[in-house]
Chains A and B, each alone.
Chain A
Amino acid sequence: MTQTSHALVIDGLTIDRPNGQPLLRHTSFAIDRAEVVLLVGPSGSGKSTIVKLLGGLLENGPGEWRVSGRLHCGGQPMDLATERSPVGGIVFQDHALFNDLSAVENLRIAADHAAHPPDAVLIDGATALLDGIEPTQTVSSCSGGQRQRLAIARTLLADRPVLLFDEPNSGLDVAMARRLGELIRDLCRSMNKPALVVAHHVKDLLPVADRVLLFDTRNHRLVEVPRDADAIEAALLALDDSVPPASQPAGLTETGLAETGLAEAGILRSAGKGRDWRKEVGHRSRFHWFLRYLAEYFWELCVSPLMLIYMGAGALIMGFVSMWFGFHYNSFGGYLKSLLHDETLVGLGLVQGTVAVPLISSILFVARNNAIIAADIGNRVLSSQFSAMQNLRITARGYIFSAILINMVVGSLILLVVSLGMASWASMQTWHIQFPMQSFELWRSHFFRKLLPDGLHPAFSMVWVLLKVALSSLLAGGAAIVIGCGKKESVLEINAAIARSIIVGVTLTLLVHAVISILTL
């Protein structure tokens, strides 16, 4: 097999499933530059596994997929048994766009994490697909077609040698599917890159395909079939389990290194009207992205208006309830209330400041944020965003996980201060309702006697309060990340993860508060 003339050469590829069943046996194939190759096969045959393998997403090792074989790309040999393939840039079936980023940010983050900063030609080529899309447009506001083009552009900016499309025409009508096929073919020619397109419905894409590979599930091979829809359909029917195994389908030959010429470079020049996408994409450091995610989660987890109202309302109710029911009794004709007034205020201040408000603040904070984290992470897992990040060399842990944990700690402390302030205010006003003739200063001098012994500096016991609030939030956040990262195959599983995350987070919070409160009595 001549390796130098092809963009991608796979030699002797063998893949075993985690359960030990074979997927492919000693398969070799090659793709030339600017060549569009369709990969077809029955549902569940393992087509996407090939895409994942080439995109570096296939988990191999003990208990996982087992892979052997060699890969040659750009003259660089690679042992697939021990190395992850860096050659494929994947356009995922569900696009896997980062829906917390705008359209242009989806491009920026891919460009900033590419092995080499994309040059102007590449940026122009990628952004040429984005006609009709505003750079600041949110992903959710894009149509299906716009999302598809955005996903392709993002993958292009990652500048991988091979473009991998996983069922790109899934859910598209015939006209849209054909236009997509033409787009892929034009891209390959203009970028001079090969494309491997996994497709279940092949008719719409056949016109743009240079070759067609069939996943032969009986013999665990990839075989080349004619670019003929009837022949492909017949071959697929022959692979159906109900049909007894026979000789290879008519017209199938072992795939080889097809002779394909290099497409003429013809970069699309229909970039968005009036938009200098090249300037918009620009270049930013990784620290910028770290701060970007830090700010995003700071907003969502800590200081969004609803969060502040929610925490403020909780503290308000806590302050009111403790002061109202702390005094609202009339034992012994009322004089006991008067006699015990000062010490009652001191006690309520101490309990509220060191136990009640920190606990209710932590529970509210953790319950709400664990739901958000589990939902957010679960959605990223379900929509393959983490896979896309990995394929684009974006370190999800470095950005998302650390941003979440930092904000859980910092946010819990900020909101503790806010809650203490609100609860104190509510307590003071509630007290004044009950003792309208007394000066607020009387309340201040007693309520803070144990919390601010000199009236200015917090007592040392507040260090333990900070510790239990920060620690409970950190542990709960970690639990939410772990739960969110579990395998997700449906929205129902995300819902279950949310519930589990709340329960685990609140339980951890209660335990941490109880243990530290008891230890520091």
Chain B
Amino acid sequence: MTPVNALFGKPAAIAASLALGALFLSAGWTTLPTRHAAATVSYQLATPMDGTPAAAAAAPAAAPIPVPVFLMQPDHATMRSGTGLLRPDGRVDITLFDPSDPRLIHGSEALMFNTEFRVLWLLATDEERARLWRGIEEVGRGLRTAMDGILESPEFTGEYRDALQEIGRMAIEEAWRAPSTRATYEEFLRSAEPMLHDTVGRDLKAIAMKQVEPLVWNLIGANVGMALDPFRSQSWDLAPVDQAIDAILREAREAGLVNRAARQLADSWQAKAFLKTFAGNVVDALARQQRLRDVAGRMVNDPRLGAYLKPVSGPAGDLARLAPDLLFGVQAGADLNALAAHTFQGFLTGRGGPLIVMMSARQREDILTLDRYSPRILLHAVPQ
């Protein structure tokens, strides 16, 4: 007999059981996800901006897709605040978790992003971005110092430079001799000939012809005395020819003839095929070089060279600590960085998709100042 039974009898025990059961089940019921909640607020995607890649990537899919909605607070801390439904016509119906949340007063405007780490950068505060830039610049400076130190070090010049140059030369020669390189080079030359012929025949001929008539008269004037001297012992004065060539070259340069021809050559698919083949063969040749592996291995393991990396190790370590802390960490006064969690999950699963961040008008302008292309502006729409 239970104490309830003993104290109050069976009816009281049954009532107690019913109350407990109802209490437990109602507690469980409150944990179930809210279903079929009406949209709280609606937005419409602004017209895509001039077909930029970002706009194209964010174009709405054929079927409505659920989109997570975040709220950016004045201190730039983000919290998940609802779920949106992106419809094929660009309309976004947002169901807020708690429409009465006073923090939503800071979320009158909205931008839609693709789920990528760049969002975290855009949504960081100016101070955070400045700190990150300083860290990156420190790393860059340290890297330059380190590389200069290594390249100028007696250890490198004495033991590695000649060997690396020799390896590079051998690789280039081997790549140049490769049949595929030769074949693409021949093809490139064959394609270049008509292009040069066309340039010379049309543009250069016109410039040259303009200089031919003055050249004739200049040659006559310069050599007329010697032409009449039967005891002439001096050679002909050909200076006007040099002057005419200089004039032709100057005019061709001023007309951009060389650049145009070079660009035309470089733009041809034959040139690209040649360069790709050649570069690939160089890399292949380097990869086949056992000497390169040996030298690189010795460099990496050379404690004397490691000492020159000291200028970069400190800044790199600082940046490695700072960047995750600023971008993925929990801001002061917040308890969760929901946007970082969502972004990280999208990165890991490869299923990012769009996300919406609600913010103040000022924050929206700040972000658009940083990047006018990747965020898509959401305009207020009338709820249906």
Contact = CB atoms under 8 A, between A and B. Distances in A.
Given A312-B24, A444-B31, A445-B83, A335 B338 contact: no
Contacts of B17: 303-305, 308
Interface in B311-351: 324-325, 328-330, 334-338, 340-342, 344-345
A334 B20 contact: no
Interface in B8-28: 13, 16-17, 20-21, 24-25, 27-28
A173 interface: no
Given A335-B324, A338-B330, A441 B33 contact: yes
A422 B97 contact: no
Interface in A431-454: 434-442, 444-445, 447-448, 452
B30 interface: yes
B287 to A, nearest CB: 37
B31 A438 contact: no
Interface in B74-129: 79-83, 97-98, 101
A340 interface: yes
B32 A448 contact: yes
A343 interface: yes
B30 A439 contact: no
Contact of A308 (B21, B337, B338): B21
Contacts of B97: 439-442
A437 B79 contact: yes
A428 B345 CA distance: 22
B27 A425 contact: yes
Interface string B20-58: 110011011111111100000000000000000000000
Given A441-B33, A441-B98, A303 B21 contact: yes
A438 B338 contact: yes
Contact of B328 (A335, A428, A436, A447): A335
Contact of A428 (B24, B31, B34, B335): B31
Interface string A408-431: 000000000110111011011000
A339 B21 contact: no
B233 interface: no
Given A334-B329, A421-B27, A436 B335 contact: yes
B81 A439 contact: yes
A226 B4 CA distance: 57
A340 B341 contact: yes
B325 A333 contact: yes
A75 interface: no
A334 B337 CA distance: 10
Nearest to B68: A445
A436 B28 CA distance: 20
A138 to B, nearest CB: 9
B335 A421 contact: no
Interface in B334-384: 334-338, 340-342, 344-345
A171 interface: no
Interface residues of A, number: 43
Contact of A424 (B28, B34, B341, B342): B28
A456 interface: yes
Contacts of A437: 79, 334-336
Nearest to B81: A439
A341 B336 contact: yes
A233 interface: no
Contacts of A333: 325, 329
Contact of A335 (B27, B30, B82, B329): B329
Given A439-B98, A441-B98, A304 B13 contact: yes
Contacts of B82: 441
Contacts of A339: 328, 337, 340-341, 344
Contacts of A305: 2, 4, 13, 16-17, 20
A338 B336 contact: yes
B101 A455 contact: no
Interface of A: 303-306, 308-309, 312, 332-335, 337-343, 417-418, 420-422, 424-425, 427-428, 434-442, 444-445, 447-448, 452, 455-456
Given A312-B20, A342-B341, A441-B82, 9 more contacts: A305-B13, A306-B4, A418-B21, A418-B24, A421-B24, A428-B30, A437-B334, A438-B80, A441-B34
Interface of B: 2-4, 13, 16-17, 20-21, 24-25, 27-35, 79-83, 97-98, 101, 324-325, 328-330, 334-338, 340-342, 344-345
19 contacts: A305-B2, A305-B13, A305-B16, A306-B3, A332-B324, A338-B341, A417-B28, A418-B24, A420-B28, A421-B29, A422-B24, A422-B28, A424-B28, A435-B335, A437-B336, A441-B34, A441-B98, A445-B33, A455-B32
